[in-house]
Chains A and B, each alone.
Chain A
Amino acid sequence: MGDLTGPNSGIVIPPRNGAKLVIDEYNKTNPAVKIELVEYDSQGDGSKAVALAQQAIKDDKIVGLVGPAFSGESAQVAPVLEEAKIPSISASATNTKLAENGWKFWHRVLPNDGVQGPSIADFIADGAAAKNVFVIDDKSEYGKPLADAVRAQLGTKGVQVTNDSLDPTESDFSSVVNKVAAAKPDAVFFGGYYAAGGNLLKQLRDKGVKDAKFFSGDGSLDKGLIEGAGAANAEGALVGCPCYIATPDVTDAKVKGFADAYKAAFSADPAIYAAEGYDAATVFVEAVKAGNTTPEKINEFIASANIAGVSKQIKFQANGEVEAKDIYIYQVKGGAITLLGKAAEAKLG
């Protein structure tokens, strides 16, 4: 479940593809119990997502859910699933608070913003050696906490921080851009999704803010950021992400196998959260393989799962968080997104 046709669908379609890949692979082996993948297009809208979740539970009788994709809709859908005792594994919702509700049936296969924000901030302060940073958020359930985490961590490092927020439904960010131009920062961080991120980056560069490095979080890790800003403007932009994207130069056999299969099935390289979507669906497939077909049984399996996934070792804590906590930094080079390395180790070339 997630935004499959809306403005930010670019970060939801790859995990959907990843999940589809696992389930198709599994069904091809002609198992006794086949798994059917049903898609729910919430367009990222929490109220639509709740209605779809009820439909999924009552009409389609799902046994597990990959998603919801965004944090906002997760906060609304998870209680519904909890009541119906349907396990869910999100491949992309990173809001920290989601894990604090005591939900037993909710999980995610990637670390939260509480990990992502500080790691990116460390990288801005250490890896990129920025002293004066302008932090912008989009006031969303995702963007604001992420930007706040970056602000707090930058503050402890003695970096000078200036703040502003924008409305992502607008297309003119000139008032934000004027503030950035006046503050003359050496780095800009944007907490929000790529649709607004691309426009913001373009307008910054057009206004002559050319030297400040542009940083963002996983919500902006999509080629839409480059399309929105234009390749020349996006060059060098840095995006942090708790996700692991299999770039074409990987050596690990398991990851390479996944990347090749993905490319063969969807004629595109795996993009953001594709590996996480694959892993989330893998957990469900493994649960069914082990003979669990009811939602409760599957949930018990998930709680004790310890599976080598494509993105990381999948092992859940009691609150639904995954144990592995690595954040990766990506950079736009020559109009494409390339992996720079783990946030703690990456170096700017």
Chain B
Amino acid sequence: MFNDFINQFWPATIDGLAFGSIYALIALGYTMVYGVLRLINFAHSEVFMIGTFGAMFVPFTLGIDSALTGLTLVGVIILMILAGMLASAGTAVALERIAYRPLRKRGASRLAALISAIGASIFLQEFFALIVIPNVFDRPQQGRIQMGLPRLMERTELFSIFGHTVRVDQVLVIVAALAMMVVLDRLVNRTKIGRGIRATAQNPESAVLMGVDIDKIIRMTFLIGGAMAGVAGALYLISYENTNYFIGFLFGIKAFTAAVLGGIGNLRGALVGGLVLGLVENYGAIFFGSDWKHVISFTILVLVLMFRPTGILGESLQQARA
């Protein structure tokens, strides 16, 4: 068994980091909304799902069915990421407007918002399975069947670590996710909007008194979180080449776990939580078998929370220095 671990250590690490990056990008949406509103946006999993379909729309409309190279490939990938961001961010903003803001204005409890989120989540899944996938993607009667993406990027070996291949798509996912994290960190810590987000997270009433437009800040929070889920959707699609109406479910739960693991409300915590979760799942699978993956990741979550109830990094948006 220990021998297996040594043999599979490097491939498991690379897969774990690649998948963990996707978890981390989705986790950002949970963590930002929680930081600002103290609300778990359970419809965020569907924001990710819609991001994968937004990205799918690009090669589908362009009619691409074979592998691309050079600048065309780069162009299509950038377009897919943008389309994913657009679809996801649009969905997230619409969710806030339709499913949350009316409740917030009427002073409804957080529990009501939670139920509203679950309703929105089911609505979006069925909307895609019954209407969008059959009509927009021209798959009548096949709304619930997995939709594949033709191979856009050849799986070439970029380099190898100790004899284990590292493919270009895996590197793309990790690098792109880290780049987005850096951009977001800058955005929150260095810009005016970022200051507004932090102020609202610390104390909404005072923020209003200081002239912060709370509605706008909340909208921006959903927009940014949604855009990150869109990037995750596009990267996932390019790398795993399939999606379906239900794909958000497992990713949503895992990303939420990652957010809690890293410390909910904490942006860097989402990154740490995502990567740790991705690695732990893959390492654990070596020892206990792949069907134990979920058991391992949630056991780790329970253990971490027992000893560090605020997650690995703990510190959250509202405690961050303004």
Contacts and interface: CB of A to CB of B under 8 A. Distances in A.
Interface in B240-266: 240-242, 244, 246-247, 249-250
B135 interface: no
A5 B294 contact: no
A297 interface: no
Contact of A7 (B11, B141, B145): B145
Chain B, interface size category, equals 20 to 34
B286 interface: yes
B91 interface: no
A174 B165 contact: no
B244 A7 contact: yes
A167 B294 contact: yes
B148 interface: yes
A206 interface: yes
Interface stretch (A21-29, A98-106, A178-186): A178-186
Contact of A228 (B4, B148, B246, B286): B148
Nearest to A176: B290
B15 A174 contact: yes
Contacts of A172: 15, 19, 240
A165 B141 CA distance: 31
A179 to B, nearest CB: 7
A178 B11 contact: yes
A208 interface: yes
B241 A202 contact: yes
A228 B290 CA distance: 21
Nearest to B19: A172
Contacts of B155: 206
A175 B146 contact: no
B241 A175 contact: no
B8 interface: yes
Nearest to B6: A182
B286 A170 contact: no
B242 A171 contact: yes
A175 B285 contact: yes
Contacts of A6: 144-145
A9 B129 CA distance: 14
Given A6-B144, A174-B19, A166 B8 contact: no
A5 B294 CA distance: 28
Contact of B286 (A139, A165, A179, A206): A179
Contacts of A174: 11-12, 15, 19, 282
B247 A175 contact: no
A169 B291 contact: no
A20 to B, nearest CB: 15
Given A7-B146, A182-B8, A224-B145, A164 B165 contact: no
Contact of A175 (B7, B15, B141, B143): B15
B151 interface: yes
B144 A43 contact: yes
Contacts of A82: none
Interface in A172-201: 172-176, 178-179, 181-182, 195, 198-199
Contact of A10 (B145, B148, B293): B145
A79 B145 CA distance: 30
B70 interface: no
A165 B290 contact: yes
B281 interface: yes
B240 A171 contact: yes
B151 A230 contact: yes
B167 interface: yes
A166 B294 CA distance: 11
Interface string A1-20: 00001110110000000000
A269 interface: no
Nearest to B247: A171
Contacts of B281: 175
A166 B290 contact: yes
B63 interface: no
A169 B250 contact: yes
A208 B242 contact: no
B107 interface: no
A127 B181 CA distance: 53
A199 B11 contact: no
A64 B124 CA distance: 37
B45 to A, nearest CB: 13
A329 B244 CA distance: 30
Nearest to A224: B145
A181 B291 CA distance: 17
A206 B294 CA distance: 24
A178 B241 contact: no
A228 B12 contact: no
Interface string B166-205: 0100000000000000000000000000000000000000
Contacts of A9: 144-145
B145 A167 contact: no
B289 interface: yes
B4, B146, B244: residue with the most chain A Cβ atoms closer than 10 Å: B146
A207 interface: yes
A228 B242 contact: yes
Given A9-B145, A167-B293, A206-B155, A178 B8 contact: yes
Given A5-B144, A175-B15, A195-B145, 16 more contacts: A7-B145, A7-B244, A10-B145, A139-B291, A167-B294, A169-B246, A171-B242, A173-B290, A175-B286, A178-B15, A179-B4, A179-B285, A195-B146, A198-B148, A199-B146, A206-B155
Which 9 pairs show the lowest CB-CB distances between chains A and B? A175-B285, A174-B15, A165-B291, A178-B11, A182-B7, A175-B290, A176-B290, A178-B8, A206-B155
29 contacts: A6-B144, A6-B145, A7-B145, A7-B244, A9-B144, A164-B290, A166-B290, A167-B294, A174-B15, A174-B282, A175-B281, A175-B290, A178-B11, A178-B282, A179-B290, A181-B11, A182-B7, A195-B146, A199-B146, A199-B242, A206-B155, A207-B11, A207-B165, A208-B165, A224-B145, A224-B146, A227-B148, A228-B148, A230-B148
